Amino acid sequence: MAASPEGVRVTKVDWQPMRNGTAHRTQEYSCHELVVRRGQLFSIRLHLTGVLDREETLTLTVQTGSQASEALHTKAVFQTADLEVGDAWTAAKEAQTGNTVTVSLASPPDAVIGRYLLSARASSRRKHSDRKLGEFVLLFNPWCPEIHRANVVRYKVHDKGKGHPSEFFSMFKKYQFSMGIKASGARASAHARPDDCFTEDDVFLASEEERQEYVLNDNGIIFRGVEKHIRAQGWNYGQFEEDILNICLSILDRSPSHQEDPATDVSCRHNPVYVSRVISAMVNSNNDRGVVQGQWQGKYGGGTSPLHWRGSVAILQKWFRGKYKPVKYGQCWVFAGVMCTVLRCLGIPTRVVSNFNSAHDTDRNLSVDKYVDSFGRTLEDLTEDSMWNFHVWNESWFTRQDLGPSYDGWQVLDATPQEESEGRFQCGPASVTAIREGDIHLAHDGPFVFSEVNADYITWLWHKDESQERVYSDTKKIGRSISTKAVGSDSRVDITNLYKYPEGSQKERQVYRKAMKKLLSVEAWGKRSRMQRASRRSLQRDNLLEPPAKPSITGKFKVLEPPVLGHDLKLALSLANLTSQALQVQVNLSGATILYTRRPVAEILHESHTVRLDPQEEKKIPITISYSQYKKDLTEDKKILLAAMCLVSKGEKLLVEKDVTLDDFIIIKVLGPATVGVAVAVEVTIINPLSERVKDCVLMVEGSGLLQGQLSIDVPTLQPQERALVQFTITPSRSGPRQLQVDLVSPHFPDIKGFLIIRVAIAK
């Protein structure tokens, strides 16, 4: 068919979603738009009103945001020509058959991410004849090496229809995976390159195994508990589920930065430092009507307990469908789980990290000061700092062009609203390397993160006359067993060595002193909204840098029987005399149910003992806390804090503490092979942990790719200590490793949580 006198017009577009989705690893996204990654070619097929002349070019326009402009790099106008993978949008005619032409496009590796509108016209036609073809989404690309501007590689693509389109993509794929993907080791440097000619997308990650884990894995494990008893909790990230990509883009558009200056905000979305910092503020609801509202008081009326969430999908969908009303409620692992979903969805490699014995240093003096009474009970009205049993944050992988290549790699991001930064509750990105080396003056929020893993823990005995006396300083207590999920398995990996040098080593103390000096400089706090100085404490604490002399006795709580929910708790306090003289010790014991932040809820133990210790003698004081003592005050965290203030006859004082987490029981089994599209039975074994009859229990089941939404199963009345089996079926919809979460929910005891990884085969 001949072209009209006005020339050939573009009528519609075929986005070729299967071809592009496979090439860009975006085929899992449950959305109607094409989703591609920046810095990588993608192909579309344009339908025309006639045959395009061989010499005729097409003019394409891509734009993102409501105020797109070429000056801000949020709009690009370009013609089909020689294809370049470089610093600008380019395109080439790949093949032409009759009235259709296949065009390959390439975005620069530092393009703004987000939703784009694509328009096209034959170059011979007037500008106002642009045909709006529809929208596509551009994401960060951890697979993308960029071609250095001085060494741009050009692809000459013939448009005579002789070459098959796949040959073009095969050539690019071969080129792409021959570049620097040779980096060995599971954690190659983000700025390591095979030779000096190449750079990458800022989020480029060399290891394919890590890309699969930190970008494409839609489930994971969050570690909770206490340092000596770490427990794994499954979490459904669900970044490919329905509406999630659209919701993640909406989070960016709802941010205060976008509301105040949308043009500038969108133009900054090429930078993972900027995007991740915005997300860290928007995942919590403080300041900005973000996604999740925090609650740490143990009261969750009008909302959902943080421990009842099993993943991010329900939270994000509730926020979006509720017209951006914050979802109640979250605590640190919920904020981290949601943030991991959002950042993985946008293409930024991200993982969840748990820090045990995590400091919250409110007055920013690199020490956690705890005030206690003569029974070792925390004085809440005096203690501003705190040490949480654990705290969960995120790490994302990208380069730090603002800091230099030494600080590339993993970056700490924390969406839990603890302290304001630049007027908003946001934290990070802070380079993990900078934290390890004590370079806390570098952006962003280095002092706060450094204190979370390095602060000294100091206990003060507060006397009735309002005098205070230092009991001990344990420099090894803060920042223990920093953990994340292993790549490709459910194992726990200890990454403490990435954050700090060995505890008590000369290097570790040198870094601490270095950080303290930088903390005293104005530069360190230029990025924080304020600097508090407690009236009774000073930053000049050189005398606290070295631990005091050891006391003449030692003490330790020992668990005599495994602590199980619904059973009595049996322990012993073991005291030992280290001297050659007899000692008399007054032991004041206290116990309380606590939240995971170690905030006491209710006292359940209060007693005193006088113990005589002969030279070198060791004695044990038995302790029993019955179920009836802790039953009504136990929180969903299932934690109890024991304390013993030991007052030695010659004036020495020793405080011994023990955090206890009560165990529970659930077993999940799949009764047969799991295959896409085929129903398979699941069997769950549960036990009533109580010595009393319970009813109104429910099994809550969830799992991306295993079932749609959540499944609720009523459990028959359970007799005291009864073991019961519950069966149900699932029909997997996606292949690969999938996580099934099963929680036993009861009004009579805290939730009992379990999960199982199910490997789903492709249907034959």
pLDDT digits (tens, 9 = 90+) for 429-484: 999 999 999 999 999 999 999 999 999 888 889 998 888 888 865 656 899 999 99
3-state helix, strand, coil in the chain (%, to 5): 20, 40, 45
Are residues 358 and 441 part of one domain?
Answer: yes
DSSP assignment of 601-650: EEEEEEEEEEEEE-TT-EEEEEEEE-HHHHGGG--TT-EEEEEEEEEETT
Lowest mean pLDDT among 28-37, 192-201, 301-310, 472-481: 192-201
At 520, the pLDDT band (50, 70, 90 cuts) reads confident
**Of the residues 661, 685, 719, the one at which a domain ends:** 661
Are residues 642 and 679 part of one domain?
Answer: no
Are residues 337 and 227 part of one domain?
Answer: yes
For 188, counting Cβ atoms within 10 Å of its Cβ (0-12 exposed, 13-18 middle, 19+ buried), the class is middle
Q: Is 391 a catalytic residue?
A: yes
Are residues 619 and 679 part of one domain?
Answer: no
Q: Is 454 annotated as a binding residue?
A: yes
pLDDT for 303 beyond 60: yes
pLDDT for 523 beyond 70: no
Query: Which helix (H) or strand (E) segment is 514 a member of?
Result: helix 506-520
Are residues 644 and 719 part of one domain?
Answer: no
Please tell me which residue in 201, 414, 439, 664 is annotated as part of the active site. Answer: 414
At 384, the pLDDT band (50, 70, 90 cuts) reads confident
Are residues 79 and 45 part of one domain?
Answer: yes
Phi-psi map region of 252: left, alpha, beta (phi>0 left; psi -120 to 50 alpha):
alpha
Distances from the Cα of 182 to the Cα of 88, 193, 409, angstroms: 27, 9, 17
**Of the residues 523, 540, 563, the one at which a domain ends:** 523
**Do residues 283 and 342 lie in contact, with contact meaning Cβ atoms separated by under 8 Å?**
yes
Q: Is 414 a catalytic residue?
A: yes
Answer whether residue 190 is part of any domain: no
pLDDT for 491 beyond 60: yes
Q: Is 508 annotated as a binding residue?
A: yes
Q: In this predicted model, what pLDDT tens digit does every residue of 92-120 receive, in sequence order?
A: 999 999 999 999 999 999 999 999 999 99
Please tell me which residue in 268, 332, 427, 697 is annotated as part of the active site. Answer: 332
**Of the residues 483, 501, 523, the one at which a domain ends:** 523
Q: In this predicted model, what pLDDT tens digit does every residue of 587-596 receive, in sequence order?
A: 999 999 999 9
- The CA radius of gyration of the chain, in Å to the nearest whole number, is 30
Kindly state the DSSP code that residue 129 receives in the 8-state scheme.
G
Are residues 736 and 632 part of one domain?
Answer: no
Residue 736 sits in a domain of what CATH number?
2.60.40.10
Q: Is 31 a catalytic residue?
A: no
- The sign of the torsion formed by the CA atoms of 711, 717, 720, 726 equals negative
Q: In this predicted model, what pLDDT tens digit does every residue of 571-610 receive, in sequence order?
A: 999 999 999 999 999 999 999 999 999 999 999 999 999 9
Answer whether residue 532 is part of any domain: no
Q: What tokens were used for 308?
A: 């009842």
Are residues 718 and 572 part of one domain?
Answer: no
Distances from the Cα of 307 to the Cα of 310, 432, 750, angstroms: 8, 29, 9
The number of folded domains in the chain is 4
Answer whether residue 187 is part of any domain: no
Kindly state the DSSP code that residue 321 receives in the 8-state scheme.
H
Answer whether residue 537 is part of any domain: no
CA distance 334 to 291: 11
Q: Parallel, antiparallel, or unpaired for β 42-48 and 10-14?
A: antiparallel
pLDDT of residue 188: 35
Answer whether residue 181 is part of any domain: no
Answer whether residue 499 is part of any domain: yes
Mean of pLDDT over the chain: 88
Residue 360 sits in a domain of what CATH number?
3.90.260.10
Please tell me which residue in 391, 427, 637, 646 is annotated as part of the active site. Answer: 391
**Do residues 642 and 557 lie in contact, with contact meaning Cβ atoms separated by under 8 Å?**
yes
Kindly state the DSSP code that residue 212 receives in the 8-state scheme.
I
Distances from the Cα of 734 to the Cα of 179, 388, 675, 762, angstroms: 31, 38, 9, 8
Q: Is 419 annotated as a binding residue?
A: no
Are residues 496 and 563 part of one domain?
Answer: no
Bridge partners of 697, per DSSP, are 715
Are residues 341 and 458 part of one domain?
Answer: yes
- For residue 507, the SS3 value is helix
Kindly state the DSSP code that residue 439 receives in the 8-state scheme.
-
Answer whether residue 197 is part of any domain: no
At 522, the pLDDT band (50, 70, 90 cuts) reads very low
**Do residues 382 and 371 lie in contact, with contact meaning Cβ atoms separated by under 8 Å?**
yes
Q: Of the spans 73-82, 206-215, 460-469, which averages the highest pLDDT?
A: 206-215
Q: What tokens were used for 668?
A: 């999940």
Domain that holds residue 751: 666-760
**Do residues 428 and 413 lie in contact, with contact meaning Cβ atoms separated by under 8 Å?**
yes
pLDDT of residue 379: 93
Answer whether residue 656 is part of any domain: yes
pLDDT of residue 85: 64
Are residues 652 and 578 part of one domain?
Answer: yes
Are residues 517 and 394 part of one domain?
Answer: yes
